[in-house]
């Protein structure tokens, strides 16, 4: 047993007062003589002995009552293990986990409601003069300030779930930073969290004996949850009114098998497809929603299902653009036969806007408006043309290069070097067939489902020994392993290099079905539309490819519930980027607008890291803390139940002063009984 105010123990010297009173009786006895006092003397002796015992008992009761009063004022307590109790003002940091997983429930109700009530009980357990930090996953600057009791109670009542997920190690750092600014001699940190495995990074925790930390676990009843993990279109380009296939990946985080669960897709707020799926416990399922395409323009979509009580990951918003046509420009080297073969691929398709210019009359300013530029049999390349093509590709365009036949290979050295390849030094005229198509790469993978063993592939009689830069995709290989058709990434664009001229004397590529397939695929993959959606809080900067932001008026970001923001825009050499920072915005479809024009549709979703509701048990967390020697942490087994009482025991030990007051009253009652009833 220890004392919070041991100086009061000096008052035990007052126990000498009742002793002195009993030793020095001020009452004087009068002597009366009787003739025969033999019998009376015997009675007097017995009475005097009984009185003596009674006086000693009264003295003991008085001394014990006085001692209990002195001990009560010294505030005795039984300290908790490895804790030191100190007097003085307190600074307390309270963290309420406001991530979406706190929408889960247990027999006592919603986890977030329990966290808010627990935080308020903790505040009320302390003195009105103590100071409090109320921290959530939003990590707002104002949350680093210490508040009074009433302000802390109000802040705790206003906490609601949001999209921010913080590792507990970062939470501890923020709490200790706020408490370090306080002069209070007694400090404590309290965390109300469900101990999700994804955030409980005990390996990075550190001891701080000046800030003992109390963890209040809020255990959900079940970890069952369905989440819409991702979605993607089967085709990289959205064409007007074409049939669309939207692939959706759904994850079952629980252990129970789910059968015939309905889900749907809506485009621009109108339902377009409905389907069902079945998924085993702990498994992932990919399914497809098919619907008719939209008109040209900007659109947004929403995939949704119903799964309670955790619903933040039941909707996936995405934005996309339907292209009216792809622009293809052929830069001709005056090989009429092969030029007609290229024109035949694109001119008969309404999706493409095909144009042709000779190399001598090329309008370099027109390159910026194209999606795919095809160089066919150009004998030489001027430096100005090289610079314009380099700018075009780095801005996101696609360039296809078919070399001339029987030409000087050194004339193409600057072009190969410009895009990271090695210049060809010779031509090979031995006949050789294309050996295989690499279906592991996405270029042909979505075109050919299977490839027969005896497939008839193109052959070549004249080819350049080109060497693309490291990391290039070799789409077609010859029998000797050398590249026939390669794709090189150049910043945001792509360069396709063919080792064989298109002339009939060099090979039969123009007569093969693979020729049209390859050219159409190059056009289809030109100017990629970027990701369908983004994660709130997880992606600081979102690229807005292909948008020309002009004028002094900043664009607006308009979202659900009439939200209208002016986001930060950064212009970099790689292009314009939209900076969201840690904006507290709801998930949904957002339109980037300039005046009355919609520049881009964005799907902003909450991160899926909270979808896995698997949590550490309090016993497992205690074991990890003991293994790592983290003695400044305490884990409550029963959550927020009776939190006020347990906080008092942790901060001030188990208080005993009330028991000593009761004992003092008991001893005073004993004294009264001895005086009145034992005469």
User: SS3 sequence, 419-487?
Assistant: CCCECCCCEECCCEEEEEECCCCHHHHCCCCCCCCCCCCCEECCEECCECCCCCEEEEEECCCCEEEEE
* pLDDT for the residue numbered 180: 93
According to DSSP, the β-strands at 398-402 and 372-376 are parallel
Residue 138 banded pLDDT, cuts 50, 70, 90: confident
Q: Looking at residue 466, what is its pLDDT? A: 80
In this predicted structure, the answer to whether residue 21 has a pLDDT above a threshold of 90 is no
Per the domain annotation, does 84 fall within a domain?
Answer: no
437 and 450 Cβ atoms separated by less than 8 Å: no
Q: Are strands 597-605 and 533-535 parallel, antiparallel or unpaired?
A: parallel
Q: Looking at the structure, do residues 557 and 425 belong to the same domain, yes or no?
A: no
What's the pLDDT at 192? 94
Region of poorest pLDDT, from 49-63, 181-195, 355-369: 49-63
With a CB cutoff of 8 Å and minimum separation 6, the contacts of 360 are none
Looking at the fold, whether 40 and 96 belong to one and the same domain comes out as no
Q: How confident is the model at residue 149 (pLDDT cuts 50, 70, 90)?
A: very high
Residue predicted with more confidence, 516 or 18: 516
d(CA 632, CA 674): 51
Domain shared by 433 and 371, yes or no: yes
Higher per-residue confidence, 60 vs 285: 285
Classify residue 73: in a domain, yes or no.
yes
641 & 596 share domain: no
68 confidence band (pLDDT: 50, 70, 90): confident
Q: Is 453 exposed, middle or buried (0-12, 13-18, 19+ CB in 10 A)?
A: exposed
pLDDT at 80 over 60: no
Q: CB-hemisphere CA count at 13 Å for 102? A: 25
In a domain, 645, yes or no: yes
Instruction: State yes or no: pLDDT of 45 exceeds 60.
Output: no
Q: Residue 334 — pLDDT band, cuts 50, 70, 90?
A: confident
Mean pLDDT calculated for residue range 121-132? 90
Alpha-carbon gap, residue 303 to 612, rounded angstroms:
19
Distance CA 4, CA 637 (A): 27
- Residue where a domain stops, chosen among 323, 350, 371: 323
With cut-offs at 50, 70 and 90, classify the pLDDT of residue 51.
low
What pLDDT does residue 551 have? 62
Least confident of 245-249, 383-387, 675-679: 675-679
CATH number, position 422: 3.40.50.880
Q: Are residues 516 and 643 in the same domain?
A: no
What is the predicted pLDDT for the residue at 32? 62
User: Residue 587 falls within a domain, yes or no?
Assistant: yes
pLDDT digits (tens, 9 = 90+) for 605-663: 988 888 888 899 999 999 999 999 998 998 987 766 667 666 766 665 566 667 778 88
Q: What is the pLDDT of residue 114?
A: 92
Which pLDDT belongs to residue 279? 93
Grade residue 94 by pLDDT with cuts at 50, 70 and 90: very high
Question: pLDDT confidence of 408, banded at 50, 70, 90?
Answer: confident
Confidence bin at 548 (pLDDT 50/70/90): low
Residue that wins the pLDDT comparison between 670 and 43: 670
Same domain, yes or no: 468 and 493 = yes
What average pLDDT does the segment 17-26 reach? 69
Q: Which two tokens stand for residue 292?
A: 């008719």
Whether 633 and 584 map to the same domain: the answer is: no
3-state class of 57 per DSSP? helix
Task: Reply yes or no on whether the pLDDT at 553 is more than 60.
Answer: yes
Last residue of a domain, one of 481, 502, 524: 524
Kindly indicate the confidence band of residue 18, based on its pLDDT and cuts at 50, 70 and 90. confident
**Is residue 555 a contact partner of residue 593, using CB atoms and an 8 Å limit?**
yes
pLDDT of 188? 92
Average pLDDT over residues 405-416: 81
Q: CATH number of the domain at 269, please.
A: 2.60.40.10
> For residue 300, is it within any domain?
yes
The answer on 132 and 55 residing in a single domain is: no
* Domain termination site, one of 472, 499, 524: 524
Residues 235 and 216 in one domain: no
Give the containing element (helix H, strand E) for 670. helix 657-677
pLDDT score, position 654 = 63
Instruction: For residue 85, tell me if it sits in a domain.
Output: no
User: CB atoms < 10 A from the CB of 120, how many?
Assistant: 20
Helix axes 336-347, 513-524, angle to 10 degrees: 60
Domain residues for the domain of 592 are: 533-605
Task: Quote the pLDDT of residue 147.
Answer: 94
pLDDT digits (tens, 9 = 90+) for 488-515: 988 878 999 998 999 998 999 999 888 9
Residues 6 or more apart whose CB falls under 8 angstroms from that of 387 comprise: none
Contact yes or no for 426/409 (Cβ under 8 A):
yes
Nearest to 84 by CA among 174, 220, 187: 187
Position with higher pLDDT, 246 vs 66: 246
**Residue 131 falls inside a structural domain:** yes
Q: Which two tokens stand for residue 375?
A: 């160089």
Residue among 131, 134, 133, 225 at smallest CA distance from 186 = 131
pLDDT in tens, 524-546: 888 667 788 988 876 567 877 66
Based on the fold, state whether residues 512 and 429 are members of the same structural domain.
yes
Whether the Cβ atoms of residue 458 and residue 431 lie closer than 8 Å to each other: no
pLDDT digits 0-9 by tens, 426-481: 677 888 998 878 777 878 876 776 666 677 889 998 888 888 888 888 999 888 88
Could you tell me what percent of the chain has a pLDDT over 90?
Answer: 35
Give residue 608's pLDDT.
86
The more confidently predicted of residues 179 and 639 is: 179
Q: What domain count does the chain have?
A: 5
The mean pLDDT of 196-210, rounded to a whole number, is: 92
Residues 302 and 233 grouped into a single domain: yes
For residue 289, the SS3 value is strand
Band the pLDDT of 275: cuts 50, 70, 90: very high
CATH number for 203: 3.40.50.410
Contact 358, 382 (CB under 8 A): no
Question: Residues 368, 487: one domain?
Answer: yes
Percent of the chain at pLDDT > 70 equals 85
**Residue 416 — pLDDT band, cuts 50, 70, 90?**
confident
**Residue-averaged pLDDT of the chain:** 84
pLDDT attached to residue 620:
93
The answer to whether residues 402 and 506 touch, using CB atoms and an 8 Å cutoff, is no
pLDDT at 276 over 70: yes
> What local confidence, expressed as pLDDT, does residue 339 receive?
93
The pLDDT of 22-36, averaged and rounded, is 60
> Does any domain span residue 366?
yes
pTM above 0.85, yes or no: no
């Amino acid at each position: 047993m220890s004392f919070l105010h041991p100086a009061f123990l000096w008052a035990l010297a007052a126990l000498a007062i009742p002793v002195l009173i009993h030793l020095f009786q001020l009452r004087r006895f009068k002597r009366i003589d009787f003739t025969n006092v033999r019998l009376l003397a015997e009675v007097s002796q017995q009475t005097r002995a009984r009185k003596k015992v009674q006086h000693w008992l009264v003295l003991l009761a008085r001394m014990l009552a006085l001692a209990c009063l002195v001990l009560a004022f010294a505030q005795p307590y039984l300290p908790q293990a490895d804790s030191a109790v100190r007097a003085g003002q307190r600074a307390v940091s309270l963290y309420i986990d406001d991530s979406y997983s706190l929408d889960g429930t247990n027999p006592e109700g919603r986890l977030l409601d329990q966290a808010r009530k627990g935080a308020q009980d903790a505040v009320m357990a302390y003195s009105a003069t103590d100071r409090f930090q109320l921290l959530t996953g939003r990590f707002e600057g104002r949350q680093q300030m210490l508040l009074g009791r009433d302000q802390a109670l109000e802040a705790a009542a206003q906490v609601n779930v949001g999209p921010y997920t913080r590792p507990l190690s970062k939470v501890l750092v923020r709490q200790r930073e706020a408490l370090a600014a306080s002069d209070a001699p007694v400090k404590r940190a309290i965390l109300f969290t469900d101990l999700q495995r994804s955030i409980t990074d005990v390996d990075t925790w550190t001891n701080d004996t000046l800030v003992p930390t109390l963890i209040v676990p809020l255990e959900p009843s079940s970890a069952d949850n369905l989440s819409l993990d991702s979605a993607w279109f089967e085709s990289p380009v959205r064409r007007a009114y074409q049939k669309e296939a939207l692939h959706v990946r759904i994850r079952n985080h629980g252990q129970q098998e789910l059968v015939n669960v309905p889900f749907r897709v809506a485009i621009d707020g109108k339902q377009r497809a409905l389907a069902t799926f079945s998924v085993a416990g702990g498994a992932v399922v990919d399914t497809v929603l098919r619907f008719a395409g939209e008109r040209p323009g900007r659109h947004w979509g929403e995939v949704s299902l119903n799964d309670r009580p955790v619903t933040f990951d039941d909707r996936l918003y995405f934005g996309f653009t339907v292209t009216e046509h792809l622009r293809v420009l052929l830069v001709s080297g005056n090989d009429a036969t092969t030029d007609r073969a290229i024109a035949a691929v694109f001119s008969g398709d309404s999706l493409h806007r095909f144009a042709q210019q000779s190399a001598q009359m090329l309008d370099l300013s027109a390159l910026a408006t194209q999606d795919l530029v095809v160089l066919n049999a150009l004998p030489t390349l001027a430096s100005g043309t090289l610079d314009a093509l380099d700018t075009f590709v780095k801005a996101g365009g696609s360039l296809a290069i078919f070399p001339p036949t029987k030409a000087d290979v050194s004339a193409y050295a600057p072009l190969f070097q410009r895009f990271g390849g090695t210049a060809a030094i010779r031509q090979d005229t031995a006949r050789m067939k294309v050996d295989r198509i690499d279906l592991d790469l996405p270029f042909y993978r979505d075109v050919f489902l299977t490839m027969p063993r005896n497939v008839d592939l193109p052959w070549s009689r004249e080819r350049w020994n080109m060497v693309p830069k490291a990391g290039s995709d070799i789409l077609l290989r010859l029998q000797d392993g050398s590249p026939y058709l390669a794709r090189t990434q150049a910043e945001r664009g792509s360069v396709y290099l063919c080792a064989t001229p298109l002339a009939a004397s060099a090979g039969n590529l123009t007569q093969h079905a693979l020729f049209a397939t390859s050219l159409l695929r190059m056009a289809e993959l030109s100017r990629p539309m970027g990701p369908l959606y983004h994660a709130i809080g997880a992606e600081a900067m979102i690229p807005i490819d292909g948008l020309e932001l002009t004028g002094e008026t900043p664009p607006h970001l308009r979202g659900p519930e009439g939200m209208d923001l002016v986001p930060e825009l950064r212009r970099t050499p790689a292009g314009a980027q939209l900076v969201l920072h840690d904006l507290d915005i709801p998930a949904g479809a957002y339109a980037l607008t300039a005046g009355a024009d919609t520049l881009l549709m964005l799907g902003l979703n909450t991160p899926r890291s909270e979808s896995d509701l698997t949590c550490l048990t309090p016993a497992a967390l205690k074991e990890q803390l003991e293994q790592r020697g983290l003695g400044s942490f305490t884990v409550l087994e029963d959550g927020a139940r009776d939190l006020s009482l347990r906080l008092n025991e942790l901060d001030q030990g188990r208080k005993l002063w009330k028991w000593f007051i009761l004992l003092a009253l008991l001893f005073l009652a004993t004294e009264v009984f001895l005086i009145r009833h034992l005469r």
